[in-house]
Structure formats: C-alpha cells, structure tokens
Amino acid sequence: MVRQELAHFLRDRRAALRPHEIGLAATGTARRTPGLRREEVAELAHMSVDYYTRLEQARGPRPSPRILDALAHALRLTPAERDHLFRLAGSTVPPGTSIVRGVRPHVARMLERLPETGAIVTDAAYDVVAWNPLARALLGTDPAGGTTNLARRRFLGGRRTYESSSTEEFGHIVVARLRRAADRYPHDPRLAALLAELHAGSAEFRQIWETRPVHAPGHRTKTLDHPEAGALRLNCDVLLVPEDDQEVVLMTADPGSPAMRALRRLVGQAT
C-alpha cells in the first residue's frame, strides 16, 4: 500500500468533483476548498468522516475492497481510475461486472471526421459498436458480416465476404482479447454465451484457446481482397478507449499508393 500516493489520489479526485455533479444542492455559501468536502465524500461512501480523513492524510489502515468500491462510487471514478485506486491500496483489482457495449458520442463523432480512414469501434467481446462510411465500404454493409460480432464472423463464418492476408493472425488476436475479457468480466452473460457458442462451433477456436495467446494492440499491415477495388494493402492501427475497454481500429493506405487512390474512390461511393 502506497499511503502517500493513495492520499494524494483521493484528494485530487475529491477536488475535481462539484456538488451538482453528484446531486447535491448548492448551499448558497462560499466553499473554502474546491470540489466536495470530506464529510460529503464520507457520507456518499457510507463511512465515518474520521476514517476518510485519515485516508486522505496517509494515516489510515489499509482499506478493504468493500471500502475501495464505495470510494470509487462516491468519487465517480472511471473503470481505469477504479483499477488505479485498488492498486494504490495494494489490493487485487476485482473483475468488472459487465462489458460496456455503448460507444461514447465523442468517439462516434471522431469516426465521422476521418473521411479517408476506415474506422470501427469494438467492445471487449469484439462486438462492433460503431463504424464510419469507409469502413462499411471496405468491409461490407455490416462490418461484422450480419452478426455484429467479429469473433463470431471470424470463427463461425458469418458471411465472411472479404478475405484478408491477416485472417490466421487475427484469429489469435481475437482469442487473446476474449481471454482477457473472460478474466475481467466473469459474470457477463452475453460474453459467456458467446464463448460457449465459439467453443461448440469451432475446433480452430478451441485449439487456439488452449494455447493461451497473448497479444498487445498495435500496428500491422494486411492485404484485403475487395470485390470492387481489388487487393488493397492497408495499415491497421489500434487506439484504446481504456475507460470503456474498447478499441478503435483505423484502416489507412500509404500516401500516393494504389490503395490510397482506391480508398478515395470508395469514399466517393460511400458519401
């Protein structure tokens, strides 16, 4: 347990909150400190003011997971901040309750501002939760092939319309991410149903699952066999949305390349 860092983190997050953000009515009196008062956080977390004060002053005992969860709720922490709080307190980060399946509006708007980039957003279970017009043109009207889920498309053949040179590699990437999701969301029923379906329907999935692959998102290239534009050499880069455990996949072509010219034609058809 890193008491000083934990104390600083709690003070910083308390100062960042405003009463109206958590449903507290303004009192009409000036506040001597920014953000919430200690007693307000203590009340929201259902603990004594003295106990919370000692935590902020780096004098408190090691808080239990129940206390940490209460503080995360009281301080309106994001999932990433909650994990950080547990690590500062020297506790094992508990699994999340369920996968975030909605896309934040600012992330969705970002996709629309990338006209020469095919972009999709996938959640922790590889459901496609957002995509832009060029992604539709590159991967088909529905990027997930009629299922909304890229893992199901990859292993169960859900209308896999366009072939790619990275098909085998992508299988290992999918399994690595689904293994992480299974560890993080052991009580998510939709994820459990998806894993059961993949295990029952794909010997390849079962085989890769047993190898326990590990993969970090990053840069790779692939050749996509598009039915209209032909073979397209594309760069694929992944941006993380850590607070929602989502990934933004960006598909681009090298400047001046035949693939870039083909993308521009597809953009014209998509708009």
Q: What pTM was computed for the model?
A: 0.68
Count of the separate structural domains present in the chain: 2
Strands (E), 64-184: 118-122, 128-131, 163-164
Q: Which region among 105-114, 160-169, 177-186 has the lowest average model confidence (pLDDT)?
A: 160-169
Residue 110 and residue 212 in one domain: yes
Supply the pLDDT for residue 27: 53
Residue 221 and residue 134 in one domain: yes
In a domain, residue 61? The reply is yes
In a domain, residue 170? The reply is yes
In a domain, residue 125? The reply is yes
pLDDT band for position 257 (cuts 50, 70, 90): very high
pLDDT top residue among 8 and 143: 8
Supply the pLDDT for residue 186: 86
Per-residue pLDDT at 53 exceeds 80: yes
What CATH number has the domain bearing residue 55?
1.10.260.40
Residue 124 and residue 79 in one domain: no
What range does the domain containing 200 cover?
105-270
Tens digits of residue pLDDT in 14-28: 998 888 777 665 555
Tell me the mean pLDDT in the region 199-222: 92
In a domain, residue 248? The reply is yes
Q: Which region among 6-10, 41-45, 48-52, 241-245 has the lowest average model confidence (pLDDT)?
A: 241-245
Q: Are 102 and 265 in contact (CB under 8 A)?
A: no
Question: Degrees (nearest 5) of the Cα angle 9, 15, 16?
Answer: 90
